[in-house]
Amino acid sequence: AHAGETGGACPMGCNLLVAQAGQPGSGPGAAVLESDRFNNSWRLPGLVEPLISQGIMVANHEYINGYDERAPLDNFGKQVYFSSLWRYEAGKNFVNALAEYGRKIGVSEMQRLLQAVTHASTEHSIIYEAAAPQAPVAADREANVTLHVSVADL
């Protein structure tokens, strides 16, 4: 990642989600770059809840940079907005429940998850559904990718 003058890529802070299709067992399909003006830290699935191996959740606050387990409701020494904490907690509990019962997380489950965590002010979501190819993708063949885009109704 690009480093600014003080080390981090995002002076005001950002969480960048990176995802790719892969074969089962080929490693994490997603990661989050948590960045501020000082640090860039990659968060992989399983480092924070929900503790699932093939998925990751992103919030408006960070879970590596600026996080202190002695003050779990704070980020960089400031209290995180209740809305942000509650929305992540609701989503985490939903994903953990699906994992507990061995339910696959598909598009309909993702839509239910997004409905559970939104408060419909300026919310939008993009679900990237990539079917891993059965054989290596050649230059003349495309992988099967579907984008599901929705905007909250006000």
Which range is least confidently modeled, 32-41, 51-60, 117-126? 117-126
pLDDT for residue 59 is more than 90: no
Residue 3 falls inside a structural domain: no
Residue 9 falls inside a structural domain: no
- What is the per-residue pLDDT for 124? 58
Residue 92 falls inside a structural domain: yes
pLDDT tens digits, 62-113: 888 888 889 988 988 889 888 888 888 998 999 999 989 998 888 788 888 8
Contact between 151 and 124 under an 8 Å Cβ cutoff? The reply is yes
Residue 119 falls inside a structural domain: yes
Contact between 45 and 56 under an 8 Å Cβ cutoff? The reply is yes
pLDDT for residue 7 is more than 80: no
Calculate the alpha carbon distances from 52 to 49, 55, 64, 68 in Å: 8, 6, 17, 22
Other beta carbons within 10 Å of 125 = 16
Residue 2 falls inside a structural domain: no
Burial of 88 (0-12, 13-18, 19+ CB in 10 A): buried
- What is the per-residue pLDDT for 60? 79
Amino acid at position 113, single letter: L
Give exposure, 46-57, as e/b (b: 16+ Cβ within 10 Å).
eebebebebbbb
**What span, in angstroms and rounded, lies between the C-alpha atoms of 85 and 107?**
24
Q: Per the structure, how many domains does the chain have?
A: 1
Burial of 43 (0-12, 13-18, 19+ CB in 10 A): buried
pLDDT tens digits, 111-147: 888 888 876 655 556 666 665 555 554 444 455 566 6
Question: Which tokens belong to 57?
Answer: 């959740």
- What is the per-residue pLDDT for 94? 92
Q: Name the residue range of residue 90's domain.
A: 14-151
Residue 1 falls inside a structural domain: no
What integer is the mean pLDDT of 36-41? 79
88 three-state secondary structure: helix
Residue 128 falls inside a structural domain: yes
Which stretches within 51-150 are classed as H helix? 82-100, 107-117
Residue 102 falls inside a structural domain: yes
**What span, in angstroms and rounded, lies between the C-alpha atoms of 132 and 129?**
10
Question: Between residues 54 and 140, which one has the greater pLDDT?
Answer: 54
